[in-house]
Amino acid sequence: MVFLDIWAVLRNLEDMISIEKALDIIRQNIPASQLETVSLLDSLGRVIGEDMFSDIDMPSFDKSAMDGYALRSEDIKLPPVELEVIEIVPAGKVATKELKPGKAIKIMTGAPIPLGADAVIIKEDTQYISSTQTVRCFKRVERAANICFKAEDVKKGEMVISRDTKITPQHIALLSAVGKDKVRVYKYPTITIASSGDELVEITQKPIGAQVRNSNTYSIQAQLNNVGFKVTSLSIVKDEMDSLTKKISQGLRADIFILTGGVSVGDYDIVEEVLKKLGTEILIDQVAIKPGKPFVFGKNKHCLVFGLPGNPVSVFVSTEVFIKEVLSILCNDPGLKNPIIKAILTEPIERTSNRQQYLFARCYLEAETNLWKVEPIKGHGSADIASLSRSNVFIIVPADSPPLPSNSPVSVMVLE
Amino acid sequence: MVFLDIWAVLRNLEDMISIEKALDIIRQNIPASQLETVSLLDSLGRVIGEDMFSDIDMPSFDKSAMDGYALRSEDIKLPPVELEVIEIVPAGKVATKELKPGKAIKIMTGAPIPLGADAVIIKEDTQYISSTQTVRCFKRVERAANICFKAEDVKKGEMVISRDTKITPQHIALLSAVGKDKVRVYKYPTITIASSGDELVEITQKPIGAQVRNSNTYSIQAQLNNVGFKVTSLSIVKDEMDSLTKKISQGLRADIFILTGGVSVGDYDIVEEVLKKLGTEILIDQVAIKPGKPFVFGKNKHCLVFGLPGNPVSVFVSTEVFIKEVLSILCNDPGLKNPIIKAILTEPIERTSNRQQYLFARCYLEAETNLWKVEPIKGHGSADIASLSRSNVFIIVPADSPPLPSNSPVSVMVLE
């Protein structure tokens, strides 16, 4: 009897794959990225899927950079000089006259330089004399002064933004100037989530007896909304074959379906069974991660299926580690994943594990040393959302790490 | 004549106030912040306006942290020990029996600890024998092992998040667990924008002759969308009294109205005149900033009015420097403003100004030295969106700075 159980333990250890191995399996099963067309403003923060070219020269004509007078620079080599003002050109209009020696054309910022002019003197260096319709120029100007030349910023046909660039507000300014009201970006997958568990009640309800509010759908939505993804929530599912079958079938229509609860080894954890019955190929069911060891990953036609344990902190960690990895690959955006930085432990970590741990912590830049310090938060494990809410990082402690003394350098996953 | 013009220049210099002075005037005119109620998920990224308290103990009962067997720890002091299994308790259910010496109750993660039990042994350390309906326990467990105690994370009535906290996904997890489906946050102002200029055409149009595409409304929208604000765009307005009056009247209904173009000293720049006619108190009309010197700030009843110059880079800089300052104060969120960090110049900056300059640049962390380096991008001034789009920071050069040699430390405003 005892002998048999040792075998079970050994098998269990073998089934529990490392995080890296799990990520490898997941990566191998991610479908090819696709592109979609979105409106210019909706492309903000997205990764562009094609090179973008300008359809015009920028500027598209020689233009004045300032309000002032267009003139021939050689006419005012010895200021003060008075020139006859023969026309006024506002932005958006073209001068009707050619500029001859001894003449000036009043010009506004952005207006085209009149034919014959080779410089602009700024208004502040002149005085207009209305009685004679002349302008007195008090300074000399160099040839080309205050002129923006045609195509000096961008040439027609020039590539302005290359594919795989993440679109910032600066890019939006440029894309609008080169006439792109629609942009091809890496397509965002559809994401559906649901929570299973007979103990769960809606957050508007006050839990009684053994009930618990369903926070998981909210935290997953917030985590994914936070990096720009919309999420459809199917809310709470009963731990029972028919309800699960119905909800899971619905969830499998999405590109990514995330179900929390029902994946542990408990007697009522029938999610994996229902998933299989619905034709899901289960590729992972346990990962050496703490919290979050019960972790189902599978594939059902086009749908990537994730079964996370019901504990809120496990769900939070699994979403950061696994779901964001999928999104970053599908959308070609490593920026969707949390940054991982090095920090110095302020307190020892005594308890390590045969699984890679993600521990509650607060990280801060210490002013005197200019070093990132990280202080573990003593929490109560995978249901302790209060300690989670006080964390701005997770300390990552590798599987089978020795205990870590104070001042050890550690990797931390940045959450905000 | 020349004498008179010197006076004009002096007056001009006096009217041009410093950025700090301009920000002071703006700050003094920002109305008191208000709160609004939003749904829990919409509170993500917002600053909370009231302390939040828990309506329940968390956990709300002593619960099992693992799948296993609830028992009396003293019963298995000398393992292996076999105990009779008298009941099974799934999550969400309460045991119907009290646990007596020598007995065990099978229990799932999250289920309430039965009366009489003081510990849980994990499933992996046991073997169930169905013929005798007993469980064999292979290890001893300490009292309280694998139990999460009532209220150990949060006590009923305890403050869980204090006002003025910016809501992260971690907070959403906690707020949902304590039943907050609505949250009071600092109210976002309504923002309306418009662009004036006879030269402007929609971005879907190909500019001909002296025309220019209207990129400004897109860049302002992108800059403000990027930090979570919705913006209403009134699009292009003709530089003409009636059109301007109509659009500006419409814009003044918002909490913040931003108009680009028509605020220079050009003959066609009548925006300030129309604003005054509509009862706007003009408080600023020139700021010692480059680009962006023509800058109108005024107040019209509840509405804060900004008139920015038409040049795209001026608009971009003014939005970052002035509009985001207003938003950060109104919404009590300094995080809405761009971070300003120190970096080391890789090239000299020769041309300084009597205005504070914001210069195109790329900043990067140099691997060998672990220092932030910043390389100026040679651009063509305030219309050069191509150089803007290549910038990830602006180098800030103070007014009247001496030329800056290579390796000078400078302040940079981070754009992404």
A213–B176 CB contact, under 8 Å: yes
- Is B219 an 8 Å CB contact of chain A? yes
In this prediction, what percent of chain A has a pLDDT beyond 90?
86
Domain end marker among A165, A186, A207: A186
Length of chain B: 416
Single pTM value for the model? 0.93
Task: Say if residue B275 is in the same domain as residue B171.
Answer: no
Task: Say if residue A8 is in the same domain as residue A143.
Answer: no
B222–A387 CB contact, under 8 Å: no
With b for 16 or more beta-carbon neighbours within 10 A and e for fewer, the B166-203 pattern comes to bbbbbbbbbbbbbbbeebbbbbbbebbbbbbbbbbbeb
Round to whole Å and give the CA distance between B363 and B380: 19
B415–A169 CB contact, under 8 Å: yes
- Is B251 an 8 Å CB contact of chain A? no
Alpha helices for B208-360 (secondary structure H): 216-225, 241-251, 271-277, 312-318, 324-330
Instruction: Give the closest-approach CA distance of B305 to chain A in angstroms.
Output: 22
- Is B354 an 8 Å CB contact of chain A? no
Enter the DSSP assignment of A285: E
* Closest Cα in chain B to A320: B169
Show residues of chain B in contact with A416, CB under 8 Å: 168, 170
A110–B388 CB contact, under 8 Å: no
In angstroms, the Cα distances linking B66 to A214, A263, A388, B360 are: 19, 13, 19, 57
- Match 């504990």 to its residue by tokens: A311
The pLDDT assigned to B267 comes to 64
**CA dihedral sign of residues B29, B35, B38, B43:** positive
Show residues of chain B in contact with A172, CB under 8 Å: 218-219, 221-222
Residue A44 falls within a domain, yes or no? yes
Domain end marker among B283, B316, B336: B336
- Is A110 an 8 Å CB contact of chain B? yes
Residue A32 falls within a domain, yes or no? no
The pLDDT assigned to A269 comes to 74
Show residues of chain B in contact with A264, CB under 8 Å: 67, 108-109
**CA dihedral sign of residues A193, A197, A200, A202:** positive
Round to whole Å and give the CA distance between B282 and B407: 42
As for how many domains chain B has, the answer is 4
Task: Say if residue B219 is in the same domain as residue B89.
Answer: no
Provide the token pair at B117: 């039990």
The pLDDT assigned to B5 comes to 46
Beta bridge partners of A300: A303
ipTM of the complex: 0.93
Residue pLDDT, tens place only, A66-78: 889 999 999 999 9
* H or E segment to which residue A223 belongs: helix A216-225
Round to whole Å and give the CA distance between A310 and A261: 4
A386–B124 CB contact, under 8 Å: no
Task: Say if residue B290 is in the same domain as residue B325.
Answer: yes
Question: What is chain B's pLDDT, residue by residue, as a tens digit (416 residues)?
Answer: 344 444 444 445 557 999 999 999 999 999 999 999 999 999 999 999 999 999 999 999 999 998 899 999 999 999 999 999 999 998 888 999 999 999 999 998 889 999 999 999 999 999 999 999 999 999 999 999 999 999 999 999 999 999 999 999 999 999 999 999 999 999 999 999 999 988 899 999 999 998 999 999 999 999 999 999 999 999 899 888 999 999 999 999 999 999 998 876 666 678 999 999 999 999 999 999 999 999 999 999 999 999 998 899 999 999 999 999 999 999 999 999 999 999 999 999 999 999 999 999 999 999 999 899 999 999 888 889 999 999 999 999 999 999 999 999 999 999 97
* Closest Cα in chain A to B94: A210
DSSP β-ladder status, B119-122 and B68-71: antiparallel
Domain end marker among B336, B364, B385: B336
Instruction: Give the closest-approach CA distance of A301 to chain B in angstroms.
Output: 31
Enter the DSSP assignment of B25: H
In angstroms, the Cα distances linking B381 to A194, B17, B365, B384 are: 53, 21, 26, 6
Dihedrals phi, psi of B323, to nearest 5 degrees: -70, -40
- Nearest-CB residue to A169 (from B5, B222, B311): B222
The pLDDT assigned to B382 comes to 82
Task: Say if residue A248 is in the same domain as residue A194.
Answer: yes
The pLDDT assigned to A265 comes to 61
Whether the Cβ atoms of residue B245 and residue A195 lie closer than 8 Å to each other: no
Residue A30 falls within a domain, yes or no? no
Whether the Cβ atoms of residue A373 and residue A403 lie closer than 8 Å to each other: no
Enter the DSSP assignment of B14: H
CATH code for the domain of B95: 2.170.190.11
Task: Say if residue B206 is in the same domain as residue B321.
Answer: yes
Give B 312-351 residues with CB within 8 A of chain A.
312, 316
Task: Say if residue B290 is in the same domain as residue B359.
Answer: no
Task: Say if residue B119 is in the same domain as residue B86.
Answer: yes
- Nearest-CB residue to A389 (from B110, B170, B211): B170
Round to whole Å and give the CA distance between A18 and B165: 36
Tell me the one-letter amino acid at A195.
Answer: S
Cα dihedral angle (B58, B61, B67, B72), rounded to 10 degrees?
A: 130
The pLDDT assigned to A263 comes to 75
Task: Say if residue A200 is in the same domain as residue A135.
Answer: no
* Closest Cα in chain B to A175: B215
Give A 359-398 residues with CB within 8 A of chain B.
379-392
- Domain carrying residue A54: 37-58+152-186
Round to whole Å and give the CA distance between A82 and A40: 49
**Is the pLDDT reported for residue A200 higher than 90?**
yes
Count of pairs with CB atoms under 8 A, one residue in A, one in B: 330
Show residues of chain A in contact with B310, CB under 8 Å: 91, 109-110
- In sequence order, the 6+-apart residues with CB closer than 8 A to the CB of B170 are A219, A316, A385, A388, A389, A390, A391, A415, A416
Q: Is B251 exposed, middle or buried (0-12, 13-18, 19+ CB in 10 A)?
A: buried
Task: Say if residue A330 is in the same domain as residue A226.
Answer: yes
Task: Say if residue A222 is in the same domain as residue A324.
Answer: yes
CATH code for the domain of B172: 3.90.105.10
Alpha helices for B279-384 (secondary structure H): 312-318, 324-330
Show residues of chain A in contact with B316, CB under 8 Å: 169-170, 173
DSSP β-ladder status, B52-53 and B81-89: unpaired
* Closest Cα in chain A to B9: A124
Provide the token pair at B402: 């001496």
Residue A104 falls within a domain, yes or no? yes
- Nearest-CB residue to A226 (from B44, B204, B267): B44
Substitution target in A129, A223, A385 with the highest count of B β-carbons within 10 Å is: A385
- DSSP string covering B184-244, please? EEEPPPPEEEEEE-TTEE-TTSPP-TT-EE--HHHHHHHHHHTTT---EEEEEE-SSHHHH
* Closest Cα in chain B to A139: B2
- Nearest-CB residue to A173 (from B180, B379, B389): B389
Round to whole Å and give the CA distance between B15 and B20: 14
CATH code for the domain of A359: 2.40.340.10
Round to whole Å and give the CA distance between A310 and A290: 14
What three-state secondary structure class fits A180? coil
B180–A197 CB contact, under 8 Å: no
- Is A209 an 8 Å CB contact of chain B? yes
Q: What is the largest CA-CA distance in chain A?
A: 115
B210–A94 CB contact, under 8 Å: yes
Round to whole Å and give the CA distance between A349 and A168: 40
DSSP β-ladder status, B52-53 and B159-161: antiparallel
Substitution target in B167, B218, B313, B384 with the highest count of A β-carbons within 10 Å is: B218
Show residues of chain B in contact with A212, CB under 8 Å: 59-60, 91-92, 110
Q: What is the mean pLDDT of residues A22-42?
A: 98
- Is B210 an 8 Å CB contact of chain A? yes
Instruction: Give the closest-approach CA distance of B1 to chain A in angstroms.
Output: 8
Task: Say if residue B54 is in the same domain as residue B74.
Answer: no
Give B 68-87 residues with CB within 8 A of chain A.
80
- In sequence order, the 6+-apart residues with CB closer than 8 A to the CB of A238 are A196, A198, A244
Length of chain A: 416
Residue pLDDT, tens place only, A226-272: 999 999 999 899 988 999 999 999 999 999 999 998 876 666 678 99
